[in-house]
């Protein structure tokens, strides 16, 4: 038998649907996923009293009416609850349910619930993923998800609060149905521009000044390391090219609104932007520490 394997190899003993029925585009919602999440929540929180408390929490935090009146007491119709939520409220409810488990003595069940729901999202090919605290985020692929996580971690300092807001806006654009690639590109660009402005002043990134602004920082940072200095200079050039590419999707007064970019181009440009945002944030410290003339 040949050792050569096709790219998509069927897994031995796996259900047919898992091997062969794969969606070309990730889903934004799925009734089967909702039913499976309901079953996971059902076995995780069997107490009617705790379910009622959870429903009250949902009403308080999300602001939707979910508690029903019975002949003897109020209650939360658990199955209908998970089925009837809007897509956004469904995602919010997953996060709230995870948080709710701790105060009712089910902290031990949090990880199991989070992992089981993430498995449902992957098997049903939803366009979302869960972070370690069960927050829901857009899921493009694992590499994009890692890139987003690393970028956000690099913006933890309060100095980058505006850039973090831009990244959050980018996430919401990617969560849209349909995906708003134009806004996603604009938002990640705005995050980069915000950090760049903090470093060098001015109202915008001027492509003609990028090399003269960034190359001296990289040379100072990598002093004595010729290869690193050379590589950084090429990255500066890449950043300039990315800035110019983004201008194709930024709205200018008096000009018609640009059309939506193809999804694969959106993901490419946003992924590159996240890396540049993280890079600029790391370079901003050497700027702040540089001696003044």
What is the pLDDT at residue 177?
A: 65
Q: Outline where the chain has alpha helix (H).
A: 16-20, 31-44, 48-61, 78-84, 87-101, 110-123, 142-154, 161-175, 181-200, 210-221, 226-246, 263-289
> Could you read off the pLDDT of 30-59 as tens digits, one per residue?
999 999 999 999 999 999 999 999 999 999
Which residues are registered as beta bridge partners of 67?
Answer: 76
Place of tokens 């009617």: 48
The whole-number average pLDDT for the span 239-268 is: 87
Q: How far apart are CA 257 and CA 238, in angstroms?
A: 26
Residues 119-155 have pLDDT tens digits of 999 888 888 889 899 999 877 666 677 777 788 888 8
Q: What is the C-alpha separation between 146 and 65, in angstroms, rounded?
A: 36
Give the three-class secondary structure for 176.
coil
Residues 6 or more apart in contact with residue 166 via CB below 8 angstroms: 187, 188, 190, 191, 194
Average pLDDT over every residue of 236-265: 88
Q: What is the pLDDT of residue 138?
A: 77
Query: What pLDDT does residue 3 have?
Result: 41
pTM, full prediction: 0.59
Q: 205 — phi, psi (to 5°)?
A: -85, 120
Measured distance CA(40)–CA(120) in Å, rounded: 10
Confidence at residue 6, expressed as pLDDT on a 0 to 100 scale = 36
Average pLDDT, the chain: 86
Q: Which of 26-30, 168-172, 269-273 has the highest mean pLDDT?
A: 269-273
Across 16-20, 133-137, 169-173, 230-234, least confident range:
16-20
- For residue 25, the model assigns a pLDDT of 55
d(CA 130, CA 119): 10
């Amino acid at each position: 038998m040949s050792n050569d394997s096709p790219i998509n190899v069927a897994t031995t003993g796996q259900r047919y649907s898992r091997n062969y029925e794969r969606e070309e585009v990730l889903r934004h919602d799925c009734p089967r996923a909702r039913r499976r999440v309901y079953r996971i929540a059902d076995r995780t929180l069997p107490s009617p009293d705790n379910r009622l408390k959870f429903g009250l929490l949902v009403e308080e935090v999300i602001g939707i009416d979910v508690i029903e009146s019975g002949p003897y007491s109020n209650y939360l119709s658990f199955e209908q609850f998970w089925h009837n939520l809007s897509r956004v409220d469904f995602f919010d409810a997953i996060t709230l349910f995870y948080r709710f488990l701790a105060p009712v003595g089910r902290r031990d069940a949090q990880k199991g619930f989070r992992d089981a729901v993430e498995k449902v999202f992957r098997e049903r090919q939803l366009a979302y993923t869960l972070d370690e605290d069960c927050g829901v985020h857009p899921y493009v692929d694992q590499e994009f998800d890692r890139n987003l996580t690393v970028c956000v971690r690099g913006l933890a300092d309060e100095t980058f609060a505006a850039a973090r807001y831009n990244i959050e806006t980018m996430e919401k654009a990617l969560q849209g149905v349909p995906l708003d690639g134009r806004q996603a590109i604009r938002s990640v660009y705005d995050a980069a521009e915000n950090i760049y402005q903090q470093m060098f002043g001015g109202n915008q990134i001027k492509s003609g000044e990028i090399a003269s602004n960034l190359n001296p920082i990289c040379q100072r940072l990598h002093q004595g390391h010729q290869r690193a200095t050379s590589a950084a200079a090429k990255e500066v050039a890449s950043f300039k090219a990315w800035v110019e590419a983004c201008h194709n999707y930024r709205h200018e007064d008096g000009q018609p609104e640009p059309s939506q970019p193809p999804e694969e181009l959106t993901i490419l440009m946003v992924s590159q932007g996240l890396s540049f945002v993280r890079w600029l944030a790391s370079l901003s410290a050497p700027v702040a520490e540089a001696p003044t003339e």
